[in-house]
Amino acid sequence: MTTATTLTLPPRGQLNRADKVMSADEVDAFLTTAFCGRTATIGADGYPCVAPNLFVWHDSTVFLHTARRPGHFVANVGNSDRVSFESDEPGEVFPYGDIECDTSVSYRSVVLFGRIRVIDRGEEAAEFFRRFMAKYAPADSWGREKDGRCPVRSRWVDLSVRHRMSFSKK
């Protein structure tokens, strides 16, 4: 017979180690330059799904770019607007104990908890598009014409993350 152990955890979004919490300026700098992030959603069947996304961090909000065709991600967002988002930067792999498997990695990461919504076409989507292309596209936009228009065939989502956040630094 086993007995269940009750584990006391800090509230969602709070780290156990205060020495690893990033300042607001460190979070802004990290998310402004981070290459991609991963968004966790919950499907109607109750299963979690994590999807990598290119994103823009602006005004304490994550703006994600998703595929043109709806898939699990968009269906899951339709099921529940509660999500978590994570972006990380690996550091050095290091030993910490006496046996070989006592090995870990240092990293910086930001984990956000919030609500998500789909952004329809309009000025809000056009502004995201401008910021997205400034972050990811080369100056010549791979030889494509740069007309500043927001294409109708794409989809953006806005992850409002002002509520609960947790951060970790190397």
Highest mean pLDDT: which of 28-42, 70-84, 111-125, 154-168?
A: 28-42
Supply 148's token pair: 């500043």
Tokens standing for residue 136:
């990811």
Q: Is 57 exposed, middle or buried (0-12, 13-18, 19+ CB in 10 A)?
A: buried
How many Cα neighbours within 13 Å face the side chain of 52? 4
Rounded to two decimals, the pTM is 0.78
What mean pLDDT do residues 11-19 have? 69
Residue 162 has pLDDT above 50, yes or no: no
Which one is the CATH code of 18-137+150-168: 3.40.50.300, 3.10.450.50, 2.70.70.10, 2.30.110.10? Answer: 2.30.110.10
Gap between the Cα atoms of 110 and 19, Å rounded: 14
- What digits encode the pLDDT tens for the residues 20-41? 788 888 889 999 999 999 999 9
3-state helix, strand, coil in the chain (%, to 5): 20, 40, 40
Cα-to-chain-centroid distance, residue 69: 20
pLDDT digits (tens, 9 = 90+) for 55-68: 999 888 888 877 76
Distance CA 111, CA 11 (A): 13
